[in-house]
């Protein structure tokens, strides 16, 4: 088993990594929409992906905030 401190550090690292990847995904989705580069999906589906990714980023930021608050306790 790992210590609580190590667990919190690992959780924090994973959350920040996820946020970084979501930011990259957002950038690519926004660029694809701007360039009308939809590939095999429709523009509407691409816009839904963008919306879902923004929500996912918001959720992970909240999770990170909770982890950081628990690290201070």
Q: pTM (2 decimals)?
A: 0.89
pLDDT at 73: 66
Cβ atoms 64, 16 nearer than 8 A: yes
pLDDT at 31: 98
pLDDT at 70: 86
Q: End-to-end alpha-carbon separation of the chain, Å?
A: 21
**In total, how many domains does the chain have?**
1
Please count the helices (runs of H) and the strands (runs of E) in the chain: 2, 0
Residue 6 to residue 32: CA distance in whole angstroms: 39
Residue 49: domain span: 4-72
User: 10 Å Cβ neighbour count for 17?
Assistant: 11
pLDDT in tens, the chain (73 residues): 999 889 999 999 999 999 999 999 999 999 999 999 999 999 999 999 999 999 999 999 999 999 988 877 6
Give phi and psi for 62, each to the nearest 5. -65, -45
């Amino acid at each position: 088993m790992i210590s609580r401190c190590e667990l919190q550090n690992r959780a924090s690292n994973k959350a920040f990594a996820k946020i970084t990847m979501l930011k990259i995904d957002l950038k690519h989705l926004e660029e694809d929409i701007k360039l009308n580069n939809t590939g095999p999906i429709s523009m509407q589906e691409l816009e839904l992906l963008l919306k879902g990714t923004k929500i996912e980023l918001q959720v992970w930021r909240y999770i990170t905030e909770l982890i950081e608050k628990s690290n201070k306790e």
